Copies of this chain bind each other. A is one copy, B any other.
Amino acid sequence: MGITLRETVKDGDLICSPHTPNCSTCTSRHLSVCAALGTEELVTFDHVVQHRGAPAKTLLFEQGQKADFVFSVSEGTIRLFRLLPDGRRQITGFAIKGDFLGVALDETYDVCAEAVDAVRFCRIPRSSFVTMVDEKPHLLRKLHQIAGRELHFSQDQMVLLGRRNAEERVAAFLLSHRARLSRVMTCSVTIPLPMSRSDIADYLGLTIETVSRTISKLAREKLVVVVPDGIRLLDVARITELAGG
């Protein structure tokens, strides 16, 4: 939470997959932008894409930095956040498998991105990607569709941050995170939460203590059970009510 960040990861710090996988066998193949790629485009993609991995806490890029790459997450969780000069942090989202970073194609990153746990991703030089997008309108269409979804999500988050109380925020977080996870994994009622309480707090506009107390309260009311690195939902219906709308 300090106001200084470690320096952004250098290329050498990233783990290259020993036998570079290719896009056609990628398990994120049908997710996100990649879903919009035809088989022949996939070949083009394979030429420019770099498959990489990074351990927990790696800073992948920083707000304001020149956006040399766009990313597609294939494993693990990445926190996206903004920092205020005095160290306050607002996490704007958690990126998971299938999520695309850099939808806007901006010259600079508008948030910081940091690995929550060990992550794998592929990255594409932004310039190459922009070229492809400019040549393939259907790729741009897909990208725009993703941007639209993110815009919609941001509005949900504004309602949450502006008008919901602590309990509603936590309940809504559990449900929305579960919904997102369900796109990419069979996740019944036990939600894996690799991120810390501090991350959840900074995502929900609360403090660690309030998040902890709220979860304890839900547990006391037998709506959830706290498990190592996750939370099991016991009463989805009631939690949905609490999340409210």
> B244 touching A84 by the CB < 8 A rule?
yes
Q: Which residues of A contact B (CB under 8 A)?
A: 82, 84-86, 88-90, 92, 103-106, 110-111, 134, 137, 140-141, 143-145, 147-152, 154-155, 157-159, 161-164, 202, 204-205, 244-245
> B137 touching A245 by the CB < 8 A rule?
no
Partner of A154, one of B141, B143, B149, B158: B158
Q: Which residues of B contact A148 (CB under 8 A)?
A: 103-106, 147
Residue of A85, A150, A151, A162 with most partner-chain B CB within 10 A: A162
Partner of A144, one of B147, B154, B163: B147
Q: Which residues of B contact A140 (CB under 8 A)?
A: 137, 140-141, 144
Q: How far apart sit A106 and B140, CA to CA, in the bound complex (Å)? A: 15
Residue of B nearest to A137 (CB): B137
Report if A90-B144 is in contact (Cβ < 8 Å); known contacts: A85-B244, A104-B151, A245-B84: no
> A159 touching B84 by the CB < 8 A rule?
yes
Partner of A82, one of B141, B155, B161: B155
Report if A158-B158 is in contact (Cβ < 8 Å); known contacts: A148-B147, A244-B85: yes
Q: How far apart sit A150 and B150, CA to CA, in the bound complex (Å)? A: 10
Q: Which residues of B contact A89 (CB under 8 A)?
A: 163
Q: Which residues of B contact A86 (CB under 8 A)?
A: 244
Q: Which residues of B contact A145 (CB under 8 A)?
A: 104
